[in-house]
Chain A
Amino acid sequence: MDIMFYIFSTIILVFSVLTVTSRKILRAATYLLFVLIATAGLYFLLNYQFIAAIQLTLYAGGIVVLIIFSILLTSHISQSFEPVGKLKTIASGLASVAGALLTLTVLLEHEFTASTKPPVDVNMESIGLSLLSYERDGFVLPFEVISVLLLAAMIGAIVIAKKSEEKVTNQENNKSL
């Protein structure tokens, strides 16, 4: 099983680096797709089938499509970014090394002890039961609030993407004038 972990990690690392170094934005989005799919592979390794399925349908299937459409909405897509200057490369390299060092020191200082609790089988059934339970440790309120959040996201997207009727007619009137 270890070797699969290394394969997925290598894919994630290589494509993450390609995502941030690619000078063409559409290619960067495609590399990101590979990173997300390999992450789903890691979830499958951990036996989190539900999370893995979400990762594939939502992130690889939905978010990447959304990102690509947002890129295609902008003009000057085909234009690749100007190569960054040396000073910027050095500065960003230093910043990322500092971030990695900070994370590493925190990780190494923390002692990870195995949990004494018996392992819980995270299957679809237990997720469904705790999601719909209104008793203690139930998640019914967050579950219902999620729908409000989704509603807000939907309305927000429509309001931003759609011009209001009056504005459109006003513009048309101005044009005809």
Chain B
Amino acid sequence: MNGESLIVFFITSLVLVGGAIVFSNYIAPKSFNKQKIEPYECGIPTTGISWLQFNVGYYLFAILFLIFDVETVFLFPWAVVMKQVGLVGMIEILIFFVILVFGLAYAWKKHALVWE
């Protein structure tokens, strides 16, 4: 892929998507109503802002996800050469794996995986 085709692709997608938005903006029938701005048509009116303080559980799940994300990144190069390195690579990756499984076991024991 060279630069020119990327630019053509970029401009085409910009024109297509932008054109669709602009076009529909001009031809669509429009009406204004105060109720249209509200998030719900009926029910209790919302108060305050939607930015609330989150549960710490989200953070825990995010960091656990990130750590196993890093693990998968290291699994990819191994997977490509798996047949080439054979048993030695298998043992190396198993050590890597087992050490991280300790972490998962710790998380499990500390009830970090339980949603409160």
Instruction: With both chains docked as a complex, state the minimum distance between the C-beta of B75 and any C-beta of chain A, in angstroms.
Output: 10
Instruction: Give the complex CA separation of A77 and B49 in angstroms.
Output: 10
Tell yes or no: B15 within 8 A of A by CB.
no
- Stretch of A81-89, A95-103, A104-112, A152-160 at the chain-chain interface: A152-160
B107 touches A58 (CB 8 A): no
Q: A58-B73, A73-B59 are in contact. Are A147 and B78 (CB under 8 A)?
A: no
Tell yes or no: A13 within 8 A of B by CB.
no
Nearest-neighbor residue (CB-CB) of A65 within chain B: B62
Instruction: Give the complex CA separation of A78 and B51 in angstroms.
Output: 6
Tell yes or no: B77 within 8 A of A by CB.
yes
Instruction: Give the complex CA separation of A155 and B95 in angstroms.
Output: 18
Tell yes or no: B66 within 8 A of A by CB.
yes
Which of A2, A62, A140, A146 is the one whose CB lies under 8 Å from B69? A62
**A-B interface contact total, Cβ < 8 Å:** 143
Nearest-neighbor residue (CB-CB) of B85 within chain A: A132
A58 touches B66 (CB 8 A): yes
Instruction: Give the complex CA separation of A116 and B13 in angstroms.
Output: 42
A contact residues around B96 at 8 Å (CB) = 143-144, 146-147
Instruction: With both chains docked as a complex, state the minimum distance between the C-beta of A173 and any C-beta of chain B, in angstroms.
Output: 18
Nearest-neighbor residue (CB-CB) of A54 within chain B: B73
Which of A78, A143, A147, A162 is the one whose CB lies under 8 Å from B110? A162
Instruction: Give the complex CA separation of A40 and B64 in angstroms.
Output: 23
A66 touches B62 (CB 8 A): yes
B81 touches A129 (CB 8 A): yes
Taking CB atoms and an 8 Å cut-off, the chain B residues in 11-32 that contact chain A are none
Give residues in B with beta carbon < 8 Å to A. Answer: 2-3, 6-7, 49, 51-54, 56, 58-60, 62-67, 69-74, 76-81, 84-85, 88-89, 92-93, 95-97, 99-100, 102-103, 106-107, 110-112
